[in-house]
Structure 1
């Protein structure tokens, strides 16, 4: 007697919110632990590169982020929902969090990911290869070509902002703006 595929294939357990949150924070901490020594070795671990006091770069980043949010909301309206499905990970991460926690998650992601990808990695790989790496690391989007294309454009924009400004600030500000506002959208759209 032979077994069917259903009998031999393990039934994967659905991922929980707690697992998503823990995985998120471990991933972001890992990116920071890798990025900090690389930035130090590259001579970029200084206040000038982080441009904390450069308000113009914060504004440019926020404006870029608002543009991305606008485009994403347009996509949500015109593209079939299944084309934007990330497997529910973003909803698990952000959908039931308080606005303060969404703010914090967005800040952690923006700082850690931009320090690693645009700060440390882009120095060696350039914008194109860093964008490819960024998209491949966000595996939850790889099942949907619309998400891959959109994420590629966003990553390229973030890389360009860093090259253009010579600082991480506009990329961090844009990344935070997108994650925070879309996190709020997920949070309150789910309530409706």
Structure 2
């Protein structure tokens, strides 16, 4: 069931409310009332600029990003928020590191708030590798509405899984 897949660790009362929205076919209506439009960041170049702008606003001193792309190969269930990878290599006696951010291509046609939340999540991994209190404090610092956006993004994924997109192509 799609609800369990995306909201596995949420309380039964929340699951029941979401199930009621699904049963009444009102999930799209709720999402559209909160997020009526999608963003216009549809290519890797614009995505990189968007991510770098957020990084420069909140994390100027963190390591640079070597790659920022939409990735159609990301499996949304396992990497719903994208993927951040850190690679270290010894190159001619020097230690080189690369930070990459990959955002699931499914978010090309999503509300900007969801894209922002995903970017904030992945950028937070530049400083905090684990999902711990410090990680979520950093996410909240960059996006004060982080937790609500993460929940709503999960509702959006349920909508996509069960009924398809709510936005015109």
Q: Judge same fold: TM > 0.5, yes or no.
A: no
TM-score, structure 1 as length reference: 0.28
> Which structure has more RCO (C-alpha within 8 Å, separation ≥ 6)?
1
For normalisation by structure 2, the TM-score amounts to 0.30
Highest Rg: 1 or 2?
1
Select the structure that is richer in helix. 1
Structure ranking higher in strand proportion: 2
